[in-house]
């Protein structure tokens, strides 16, 4: 049997994924996601853009120091200060990569960079050479390659490979290409660039026309050996290629690919839930691989077929991507050991024994209300426990809502604000509106509610509701999450979580959007 090539999985959830409006993450959240990615055996984790802000620098540094088994990468424009900052952030990495880029398409060069092609080429070479001062592992991207002229693209790529780039990444930055075209672009580049054999060809596709995964796979079939992708397809505008779809296609259609990944696919669901929990970007039920309906069969003919032979309607096994795997059901009779063990199996590491005890006590409270506690419940509960506990200035003590046909809903609550208990009440258009107004009567955050969404974490009427609230104040946007079997309480928790973030000094500022 001929050994297959290794297809490198480069995850950019923490960098390009974070560029989704509203998906900004704190340093600790990035470290948690990075650990889950490492556990899934992702080859390269792009942790951020260190020059972007002090918070992002700290986040890349923290990820670089926490991760041992994956490469950690930092993004840098083709500018000396960006590259130096990335080099500094990655100094503590077991294996660090600098990813530098500059646009090569006519429109980007003329209108955005206002540089001639020769200037762009010289700056690209200079950037790669400078990055090589910090690491042998340098990646170069000609931004908007999908709309660049082929002769110029070949010149730039040949020059950066000569300068020491070991990976050349071909981005379809605006998601403009279609699969045949993008596949043949990769083939042409590999054929025409004289030193192509000295670098790994990578692709980075955006999903503006819904083709990011198809374009990436067409590139792999034409010799690309690294794919840049994100969990749940998160990313700028319509997102990036979804990691889970790329990995499961290559695995399921082994007959079509002469390469394979080294991923532990059973960790996919963990990563998917973690990213959607932290960012508040819910996964649509019909999303491939990780959507709630991805392995559900409703119609009789399908159910009949699956009962007779699963493969009649299933091309993958749900357990291979982490669905239903290890469904040890925890309940109110479970002890600390089972709880701790299950968290470990889910890759959740509590910072201290105190955090574990706090999470365990919430688990017992939940188990009193809910018959079975599933992995999804645990993940929400732990997110709730670890949500900036140290920075929690305002906390829910009690809440009472009244909602009756023909009456205006009202809410009465008690909060602990900077250690002092304060009560407030309000009426509103609904119980959630009344609750938010009652909170505001105490906190006076001066924010505007930008998004409110509720998701059932598991099925059944006793399922926990997971609420995401997005607040904005003076251009700064924060997301808050909360989970509870009572969705009004979950809403209050989410609102307070967002308030706690907005009341903190800016730790992670997204310079253009002001997200934290």
Ligand X SMILES: CC(C)C(=O)C(=O)O
Ligand Y SMILES: CC(=O)SCCNC(=O)CCNC(=O)[C@H](O)C(C)(C)COP(=O)(O)OP(=O)(O)OC[C@H]1O[C@@H](n2cnc3c(N)ncnc32)[C@H](O)[C@@H]1OP(=O)(O)O
Q: Which residues are annotated as a binding site for Mn(2+)?
A: 16, 204, 206, 240
Q: Candidates 13, 70, 104, 141: give the one binding ligand X (CB under 6 A).
A: 141
Q: Candidates 10, 101, 140, 323: give the one binding ligand Y (CB under 6 A).
A: 101
Q: Does 146 bind ligand X (CB under 6 A)?
A: no
- Kindly write out the interface string for residues 52-91 of this chain, putting x where it contacts ligand Y by CB under 6 A and - elsewhere: x------------------------xxx------------
The residue count for binding ligand Y (CB under 6 A) is 17
Q: Does 102 bind ligand Y (CB under 6 A)?
A: yes
Contact region with ligand X (CB under 6 A), list: 165-173, 386-394, 420-428, 503-511 = 165-173
- Count of alpha carbons within 13 Å of 97, Cβ hemisphere only? 24
Give DSSP secondary structure letters for 161-228: HHHT-SEEEEEETTS---HHHHHHHHHHHHHH-TTGGGSEEEEEEB-TTS-HHHHHHHHHTTT--EEE
- Using only C-alpha atoms, the chain has a radius of gyration, in whole angstroms, of 24
**Binding partner of residue 78 among ligand Y, ligand X, none, CB under 5 to 8 Å per kind?**
ligand Y
User: 11 or 16, CB closer to ligand X?
Assistant: 16
Q: Candidates 20, 26, 148, 173: give the one binding ligand X (CB under 6 A).
A: 173
Q: Does 112 bind ligand Y (CB under 6 A)?
A: yes
The residue count for binding ligand X (CB under 6 A) is 9
- Kindly write out the interface string for residues 369-408 of this chain, putting x where it contacts ligand Y by CB under 6 A and - elsewhere: ----------------------------------------
User: 239 or 322, CB closer to ligand Y?
Assistant: 239
- Count of alpha carbons within 13 Å of 358, Cβ hemisphere only? 15
**Binding partner of residue 481 among ligand X, ligand Y, none, CB under 5 to 8 Å per kind?**
none
What is the torsional sign of CA 489, 495, 500, 501? positive
| Dist. CA 43–CA 32, nearest whole Å | 17
- Residues 190-207: b if buried by 16+ CB within 10 A, e if exposed: beebeebeebbbbbbbbb
| Dist. CA 502–CA 40, nearest whole Å | 33
> Which is nearest to 106 in space by CA: 151, 161, 75?
151
Residue nearest to ligand X (CB): 171
User: 76 or 269, CB closer to ligand Y?
Assistant: 76
**Binding partner of residue 141 among ligand X, ligand Y, none, CB under 5 to 8 Å per kind?**
ligand X
| Dist. CA 17–CA 12, nearest whole Å | 6
**Binding partner of residue 113 among ligand X, ligand Y, none, CB under 5 to 8 Å per kind?**
ligand Y
* Distance, CA of 126 to chain centre: 32
Q: Candidates 28, 43, 143, 244: give the one binding ligand X (CB under 6 A).
A: 143
CA angle at residue 336 from 334 to 339, to 5 degrees? 70
Q: Candidates 17, 171, 183, 409: give the one binding ligand X (CB under 6 A).
A: 171
Q: Does 237 bind ligand Y (CB under 6 A)?
A: no
**Binding partner of residue 204 among ligand X, ligand Y, none, CB under 5 to 8 Å per kind?**
ligand X
Q: Does 19 bind ligand Y (CB under 6 A)?
A: yes
> Which is nearest to 235 in space by CA: 271, 279, 186?
279
CB-based contacts of 467: which residues, under 8 Å, 6+ apart? 452, 453, 454, 455, 481, 482, 483, 487, 490, 491, 493, 494
Q: What backbone phi and psi angles, to 5 degrees, belong to 377?
A: -65, -40
CB-based contacts of 392: which residues, under 8 Å, 6+ apart? 500
- Kindly write out the interface string for residues 92-121 of this chain, putting x where it contacts ligand X by CB under 6 A and - elsewhere: ---------x--------------------
| Nearest-approach distance from CB 19 to ligand Y, in angstroms | 6
Q: Candidates 38, 58, 84, 236: give the one binding ligand Y (CB under 6 A).
A: 236
- Count of alpha carbons within 13 Å of 216, Cβ hemisphere only? 34
| Dist. CA 62–CA 12, nearest whole Å | 16
Contact region with ligand X (CB under 6 A), list: 2-10, 33-41, 167-175, 381-389 = 167-175
| Nearest-approach distance from CB 181 to ligand X, in angstroms | 17
**Binding partner of residue 262 among ligand X, ligand Y, none, CB under 5 to 8 Å per kind?**
none
Reading the block at residue 116, the tokens are: 């001639």
Chain positions 24 to 53 lying near ligand Y, rule: CB under 6 A, are 49, 51-52
Tell me which residues touch ligand X (CB under 6 A).
Answer: 16, 101, 141, 143, 169, 171, 173, 204, 206
Tell me which residues touch ligand Y (CB under 6 A).
Answer: 16, 19, 49, 51-52, 77-79, 101-102, 112-113, 143, 173, 236, 511-512
């Amino acid at each position: 049997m001929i050994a297959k090539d290794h297809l490198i999985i480069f995850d950019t959830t923490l960098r390009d994924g974070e560029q989704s409006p509203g998906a900004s993450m704190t340093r600790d959240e990035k470290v948690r996601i990075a650990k889950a990615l490492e556990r899934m055996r992702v080859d390269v984790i792009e942790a951020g853009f260190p020059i972007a802000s002090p918070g992002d620098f700290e986040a890349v540094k923290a990820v670089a120091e926490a991760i041992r088994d994956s490469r950690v990468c930092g993004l840098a424009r083709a500018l000396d200060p960006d590259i130096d900052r990335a080099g500094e952030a990655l100094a503590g990495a077991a294996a660090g990569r600098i990813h530098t880029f500059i646009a090569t398409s006519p429109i980007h060069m003329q209108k955005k960079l206002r540089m001639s092609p020769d200037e762009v080429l010289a700056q690209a070479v200079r950037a790669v050479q400078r990055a090589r001062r910090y690491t042998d592992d340098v990646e170069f991207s000609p931004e908007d390659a999908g709309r660049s002229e082929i002769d110029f693209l070949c010149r730039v790529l040949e020059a950066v490979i000569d300068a020491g780039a070991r990976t050349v990444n071909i981005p379809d930055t605006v998601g403009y290409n279609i699969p045949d075209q993008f596949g043949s672009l990769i083939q042409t580049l590999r054929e025409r660039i004289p030193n192509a054999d000295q670098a790994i060809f990578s692709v980075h596709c955006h999903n503006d026309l819904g083709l990011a995964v198809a374009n990436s796979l067409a590139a792999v079939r034409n010799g690309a050996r690294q794919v840049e992708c994100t969990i749940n397809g998160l990313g700028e505008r319509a997102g990036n290629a979804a990691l889970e779809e790329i990995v499961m296609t290559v695995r399921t259609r082994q007959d079509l690919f002469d390469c394979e990944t080294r991923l532990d696919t059973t960790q996919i669901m963990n990563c998917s839930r973690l990213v959607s929990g932290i960012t508040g970007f819910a996964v649509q039920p019909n999303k491939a691989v990780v959507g709630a309906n991805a392995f559900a069969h409703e119609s009789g003919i399908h159910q009949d077929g699956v009962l007779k032979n699963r493969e009649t309607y299933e091309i993958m096994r749900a357990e291979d991507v982490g669905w239903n795997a290890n469904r040890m059901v925890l309940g109110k009779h479970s002890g600390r050991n089972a709880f701790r063990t299950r968290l470990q199996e889910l890759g959740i590491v509590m910072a201290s024994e105190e955090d574990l005890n706090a999470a365990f006590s919430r688990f017992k409270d939940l188990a009193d209300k809910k018959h079975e506690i599933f992995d999804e419940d645990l993940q929400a509960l732990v997110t709730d426990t670890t949500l900036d506990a140290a920075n929690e200035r305002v906390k829910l003590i009690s809440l009472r809502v009244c909602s009756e046909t023909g009456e205006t809903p009202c809410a009465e609550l008690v909060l602990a604000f900077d250690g002092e208990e304060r009560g407030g009440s309000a009426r509103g258009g609904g119980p959630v509106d009344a609750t938010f107004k009652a909170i505001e009567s105490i906190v006076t955050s001066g924010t505007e509610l930008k998004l409110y969404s509720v998701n059932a974490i598991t099925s059944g009427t006793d399922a926990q509701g997971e609420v995401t609230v997005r607040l904005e104040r003076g251009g700064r946007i924060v997301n808050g999450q909360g989970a509870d079997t009572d969705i009004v309480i979950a809403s209050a928790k989410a609102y307070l979580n967002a308030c706690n973030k907005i009341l903190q000094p800016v730790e992670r500022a997204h310079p253009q959007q002001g997200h934290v």
